[in-house]
Structure 1
Amino acid sequence: MSAPDALRRLSTLTLSVQHLGRLPHLSDLVPSSLPSPGATVAASQVPALFREPYILSGYRPVRQDWRCYLLSLFQRHNESLNVWTHLLAGPVLLLRWWANAGTLGYTLDAASLPLALFLLSALTYLGLSVAAHLFQSHSERAHYFFFFLDYVGVAVYQYGCSLGHYFYTSEPAWRESVGFLFLPGAALFGWLSCAGCCLAKLRYRRPYPLQRKVCQLIPTSLAYLLDISPVAHRLLACPWGREAAPHFHALQVACFLLAAFFFSCPVPERFFPGRCDFLGQGHQVFHLFLSLCTVFQLEALFRDYARRRHVVLELFGEGQLWWACASFPALVLCFLLTAAVAMRRVDQKLRSKDE
């Protein structure tokens, strides 16, 4: 190759590199009118309502544009993992549902309604949890509004679990002892769980006293103990054999107990203040174990459904099945009304504060 040809090729390559340098960046593709989330701030720069014990930084400033909090989904802050652990759990559940429906079989009829409502309840609590952790930093009113909805999601999930456990997992000996009280009790404890959490959030201010945790945990624990009783009876009283469902049930119980521990105790951040602001705080671990609990629960219930779907109507009767499933939207409405009453009290307090 002659020297002139080499120089011409070098010149062409240089021009190509210059054109590549002028390719649009990601920031160029975002409309200039779209707000960007502000930098995170220290705990001392946000009101006490938004501060978490032993979490010293990574807070989002209040009173930003709503779109800033939506875009903070892709920002590093102290709620990021709380959002993403539950946001990713939703698609995982849907993928596992699709896979199990293909391998174990699923037909949309009366016998399958409790399983469908369980999935709906799980997606509800995951979605409302994501909304709460993503948008609660906007203002004091938004904080209460979205966490009240979060409590509604937890109560809906509790009743969805009880439907699946009752119709697919319970054994005859258990049903003969407490079965006739189970679903009414699950509905009552679900409402008490929602009301107790709303009351605790409404009544107590930071730094939260022990009474707040008690007000939250007692009704929630009673709801869980009742909801899990068919599973506990089956694991303790019946041989596991070669079935996979009991093993998944054992995993869901173990994950829930670990989740409850990290929800109740602010560890490890209590021992390392400021070191777990973005990664490793107890509430993030709680979210992770609760997501795993839900995935294992779906796997167990799908196998119980596949084993029992041909006898569900015979065992329980079509009338009881439809009544139990029809009570689901009625309970959701009841939970929403409870949150609305609590939100009304918040609005009254905020108005009196402004006067």
Structure 2
Amino acid sequence: MLSLIKLPRVFTINQVPKVFHEDGIMSGYRHPCSSAKECVLSLFQLTNETLNIWTHFLPTWFFLWKLLTVIFVQDEWRDPYVWPLLMFLTSCCVYPLASSCAHTFSTMSVRARHICFFFDYGALSFYSLGTAITYSSYCFPEKWVNSMFHWYYIPAAVFNSIICTGLACYSRLGMPFLHYNCNTIRSSESFSPKLGKSLRIVAFAYPYLFDNIPLFYRIFVCTGDGCTNNEAIGLHYQHTSMAFLTGFLFATHLPERLAPGSFDYIGHSHQLFHVFAITGTYFQMKAIELDMTLRKQWLQMHTQPIPFVNPVGSALLSLALSLSIIYVFSLALFSTTDKQKRDKKK
């Protein structure tokens, strides 16, 4: 069937505008003015984005299955103790789906590329908040439960998620928004992506490090009574290791930086980044579930019941503010390109 369909052509790095360039990736680029149909068809041919898409699209369905299992099969959604887990699982469905969609449709135009990744960044900030909600509910060391830091942890995480979205979106404003003719895909734009990349690293690392303060204290620093050393610690070590590995891959562009052109289709850093990120999320989910089960009796005795507005309200507030930020940056993107078009005509 697919042999009867004409698949889109792929290009080399010298044939696409610089905004589409990836460090160390020399070929396998899609047309920068692809139609939506061509973007979908590219899922079934080997390009430098194909595995980026599938490594996040397929896990989305696993996390969705897990979420629906908790809601409909285990029928635990009526228990307020489970609500933070539901928020976390929802965020685990949202961020890989947003990422796969961003990678799929990012070659429709320069505008589409930026807007697609705006939503990708918003989904990642939502995931960071989902992590904080579950950590606050199930993973805090006993010494810190009901402390001042514990009380202000979720409000701070909401604020951090907004900073994450805003800073990550802002990091793309340094990239070119120049209009170009889609009939000719060559472009002479010049820009320095290093600052934007550095801002994105800060945008993602900052909420991650804050969210994990109680976990880092628990597994690396705390000793003696009140440190909550249980069977979940091993899983926490695993997902923490995966998180640092994904950050390393995102920042270094290894291995393709060492051998440009050798990992264009399979094995480049962004593919590995996706794989390790999803694997880390899986270990994180298992660790949270184990903490949730093993600590339920103690937590219910020593903490107040979780109100519905705490996990759900925080998530909805963060989501609404992130969408507002994406809207503002999208308007800025359109106004910038429209101004550049008018200046070009003069």
Corresponding position of 2:197: 213
Q: Does the 8 Å CA contact 1:93/1:298 hold for their aligned counterparts?
A: no
Cα RMSD for the two superposed structures: 2.6
Shift of 1:171: 1.9
Aligned equivalent of 1:120, options 74, 90, 104: 90
Percent of matched pairs sharing the same residue: 26
Instruction: Tell me, yes or no, if structure 1 residue 286 matches structure 2 residue 270.
Output: no
Corresponding position of 1:184: 155
Tell me: CA distance 1:288–1:232, structure 2 relative to 1, closer, same or farther (3 Å): same
Q: Match of 1:264, as an amino acid? A: A
Shift of 1:73: 1.3
- SS state at 1:84 partner: helix
Corresponding position of 1:295: 282
Counterparts of 1:147-162 in structure 2, within 5 Å, are: 147-162=117-132
Shift of 1:245: 1.4
Q: Does the 8 Å CA contact 2:32/2:107 hold for their aligned counterparts?
A: yes
Instruction: Tell me, yes or no, if structure 1 residue 173 matches structure 2 residue 143.
Output: yes
Tell me: CA distance 1:36–1:160, structure 2 relative to 1, closer, same or farther (3 Å): farther
Shift of 1:109: 1.9
Shift of 1:262: 0.3
Corresponding position of 1:136: 106
Q: Does the 8 Å CA contact 2:81/2:306 hold for their aligned counterparts?
A: no
Counterparts of 1:88-107 in structure 2, within 5 Å, are: 88-94=58-64, 106-107=76-77
Corresponding position of 1:307: 294
- SS state at 1:268 partner: coil
Q: How far apart, in 2, do the equivalents of 1:258 and 1:108 lie?
A: 37
Corresponding position of 1:250: 237
TM-score by length of 2: 0.86
Q: How far apart, in 2, do the equivalents of 1:209 and 1:140 lie?
A: 15
Tell me: CA distance 1:147–1:219, structure 2 relative to 1, closer, same or farther (3 Å): closer
- Considering fraction of residues, name the structure with more helix: 1
List gaps (5 residues or longer) in structure 2.
Answer: 177-189
Corresponding position of 2:185: none
Q: How far apart, in 1, do the equivalents of 2:330 and 2:69 lie?
A: 40
Q: Does the 8 Å CA contact 2:60/2:94 hold for their aligned counterparts?
A: no
Aligned equivalent of 1:264, options 248, 251, 254: 251
Shift of 1:113: 0.5
State the Cα deviation string for residues 18-66 of structure 1 (Å, max 9, x = none). xxxxxxx5656xxxxxx74312111111111111122110001122321
State the Cα deviation string for residues 189-230 of structure 1 (Å, max 9, x = none). 111111111001112446534332332222322211111112
Instruction: Tell me, yes or no, if structure 1 residue 198 matches structure 2 residue 169.
Output: yes
State the Cα deviation string for residues 74-132 of structure 1 (Å, max 9, x = none). 11100011111111222333455678899999453211010000000111111100011
Shift of 1:314: 4.6
Aligned equivalent of 1:47, options 17, 20, 38: 17
Aligned equivalent of 2:329, options 321, 339, 342: 342
Q: How far apart, in 2, do the equivalents of 1:278 and 1:333 lie?
A: 37
Q: How far apart, in 2, do the equivalents of 1:242 and 1:99 lie?
A: 28
- SS state at 2:10 partner: coil
Shift of 1:301: 0.9
- SS state at 1:53 partner: coil
Instruction: Tell me, yes or no, if structure 1 residue 235 matches structure 2 residue 205.
Output: no
Instruction: Tell me, yes or no, if structure 1 residue 74 matches structure 2 residue 37.
Output: no
Q: Which has the larger radius of gyration?
A: 1
Instruction: Tell me, yes or no, if structure 1 residue 59 matches structure 2 residue 43.
Output: no
Q: Match of 1:219, as an amino acid? A: A
Shift of 1:254: 0.2
Q: How far apart, in 2, do the equivalents of 1:64 and 1:102 lie?
A: 40
Shift of 1:67: 1.2
Tell me: CA distance 1:156–1:40, structure 2 relative to 1, closer, same or farther (3 Å): same
Q: Match of 1:224, as an amino acid? A: Y
- SS state at 1:189 partner: helix
Q: Does the 8 Å CA contact 1:54/1:270 hold for their aligned counterparts?
A: yes
Shift of 1:310: 4.5
TM-score by length of 1: 0.84
Q: Match of 2:17, as an amino acid? A: P
Q: Match of 1:109, as an amino acid? A: D
Q: Match of 1:262, as an amino acid? A: L
Tell me: CA distance 1:124–1:96, structure 2 relative to 1, closer, same or farther (3 Å): closer
Q: Match of 2:133, as an amino acid? A: L
Q: How far apart, in 1, do the equivalents of 2:81 and 2:117 lie?
A: 34
Q: Match of 2:126, as an amino acid? A: V
List gaps (5 residues or longer) in structure 1.
Answer: 1-24, 29-34
Q: Does the 8 Å CA contact 1:182/1:226 hold for their aligned counterparts?
A: no
